[in-house]
Amino acid sequence: MKLRLIILMKILYYLEKINGNNLKSRNNRLIIVKGNKIKSLKGKFIYQKILFLLQYLSDFSGINHLSYRYLRKEWGPHSTELAFDMNFLKEEGFVHFEGEDIIIANKKKIEYYFQKRGIDLKLSAEEGKVIFKMEEIINIELKDDYRIELATSMLFLVKQGFILKKEIFNELEKWKPGVFNDLEKENIWNLLYLNKILYKVVLDISFLSNINTGIKNAHKYHKLISYIISYIFKDTFSNMEFEREVYNGRCYIDTVYTNIAQNGFFRHLPEKYKGISCNYIVLEAKNFTLDPGNREVDQLASRLNKKVSNFGILTCRNIKNEKLMLQRCQYHLDSNKYIIFLTDTNLQKLVKWKILGLGAEIHDFIDNKFKALVFRS
């Protein structure tokens, strides 16, 4: 039997902890979750959503046990693979259905199967936390199938790479026109935020557009950008440090990361360019309305040296004249100092790729930035 099926049986065995007393009905779709029974007039859709949420929380917690692929369907995320597996378990007698809506785990048969094969049926501490978190969210926060549908649909879009709050809300309307109003979307968004279910980077990147340019918000922008960069390169950069003092306290670097890359652009950069040192990555963040000028680029260049790093990143809100900005960075090439710049739009793209697991695309993007710099194109 496939590992995924064994994990699914284990999950169904423990779903009895879900308390259905708090669940309510909406639009004549009644949900009852009691014992390990999942019941609804749209029951197959409810178990799909419950297991989608469980898989999302597992991935979110780094457990990564389930591997079902979900598609957009009328009632939310749906996995044909999961439906097939559930029917297989039914045929083998591990679960049975009462009518079309109640799914009941055959606990004795599951226990016998696990015992005969020497498989541990107990939950690990991490698995227990995930199931408890799901139960808590469903029974205390979501409570009815309408809110479950909205929450899981929103999280499904995040998993598809939609990262901006406005973008997610608009895509929900395209997917389910007229089903959810703006207030309901806001309420579920806030619920997912308060329960720390949304990826933090999604919240960060959505909040970024709300930060006004100017010195008043410079510190807020700097901190937020630093965390976003840390997420994009979380397997490459470590030990983020804010406002690193240099030159005996005469000046500061906005943020310094330690380069721990085992592959990709930042791993191979010193090999390709022997004169480049990048044990550390230097970041300067500029919350300007206008393009950063010579002064800002020169400031970052002054922080670079062979002992610290020859490579720096300058982030800014937008670039109106990219050719001129590139020339400002190229001015420092003869001093063996390499500076690339990233805008809000660039970071949104990189975050999206990171969520989708497109690490190669991220490193190709940075490589293209670097090529444009050194080829003076």
> For 312-342, what is each residue's pLDDT tens digit?
999 999 999 999 999 999 999 999 999 999 9
Q: Which of 239, 232, 235, 244 is nearest to 202 (CA)?
A: 232
Check residues 308 and 113 and name the one with the higher pLDDT: 113
**Quick check: 24 pLDDT over 60?**
no
> Cα separation of 112 and 91, whole Å?
17
Q: What pLDDT is attached to residue 40?
A: 42
Q: What pLDDT is attached to residue 212?
A: 93
- Average model confidence (pLDDT) for the chain? 85
Query: Token pair for residue 336?
Result: 């063996």
Q: Which of 147-161, 198-212, 261-275, 355-369 has the lowest mean pLDDT?
A: 261-275
* Backbone conformation region of residue 135, classed left if phi is above 0, alpha if psi is from -120 to 50, else beta: alpha
**Could you give the count of Cα atoms lying within 13 Å of 86 in the half-sphere of its Cβ?**
24
Q: What pLDDT is attached to residue 247?
A: 59
The rounded percent of the chain whose pLDDT value lies above 90 is 50
**What is the identity of the amino acid at 115?**
Q
The rounded percent of the chain whose pLDDT value lies above 70 is 87
Q: What pLDDT is attached to residue 196?
A: 86
> Cα separation of 39 and 214, whole Å?
54
Mean pLDDT across 56-82: 85
Q: What pLDDT is attached to residue 1?
A: 66
Q: What pLDDT is attached to residue 249?
A: 56
Name the band, by pLDDT with cuts 50, 70 and 90, for residue 139: confident
Query: Token pair for residue 137?
Result: 């969210």
Q: What pLDDT is attached to residue 170?
A: 94
Q: Could you tell me if 204 and 222 are in contact, meaning their C-beta atoms sit under 8 angstroms apart? A: no
| Site of tokens 């975050």 | 351
Q: What does the pLDDT look like over 280-323, one tens digit per residue?
A: 999 999 999 999 999 999 999 988 888 888 999 999 999 999 99
Q: Could you tell me if 328 and 301 are in contact, meaning their C-beta atoms sit under 8 angstroms apart? A: no
Angle between helices 344-355 and 218-232 (to 10 degrees): 30
**Quick check: 100 pLDDT over 60?**
no
**Quick check: 126 pLDDT over 90?**
no
> Cα separation of 252 and 229, whole Å?
19
Helices (H), the chain: 3-14, 43-60, 80-91, 107-116, 125-136, 145-159, 165-175, 182-194, 200-208, 218-232, 265-272, 294-302, 322-330, 344-355, 359-374
| Residue 230 backbone phi and psi in degrees, to 5 | -60, -40
* Strand 280-286 versus strand 251-259 pairing type: antiparallel
Instruction: Identify the structural domains of the chain with CATH numbers, from first to last.
Output: 3-141 (no CATH), 215-374 (3.40.1350)
Q: Could you tell me if 310 and 304 are in contact, meaning their C-beta atoms sit under 8 angstroms apart? A: yes
Cβ-based burial of 216 (10 A; exposed 0-12, middle 13-18, buried ≥19): exposed
Check residues 34 and 71 and name the one with the higher pLDDT: 71
**Quick check: 95 pLDDT over 60?**
yes
Long-range interactions of 78-83: CB distance < 8 A, separation 24+: 78/45, 78/48, 79/48, 79/51, 79/52, 82/8, 82/48, 82/51, 83/44, 83/48
Q: Which of 126-130, 362-366, 368-372 has the lowest mean pLDDT?
A: 126-130
Angle between helices 80-91 and 3-14 (to 10 degrees): 80
Query: Token pair for residue 348?
Result: 């949104």
Name the band, by pLDDT with cuts 50, 70 and 90, for residue 248: low
Chain length of the chain? 377
**What is the identity of the amino acid at 35?**
G
Helix, strand, or coil (residue 173): helix
Q: What pLDDT is attached to residue 229?
A: 95
* Backbone conformation region of residue 261, classed left if phi is above 0, alpha if psi is from -120 to 50, else beta: beta
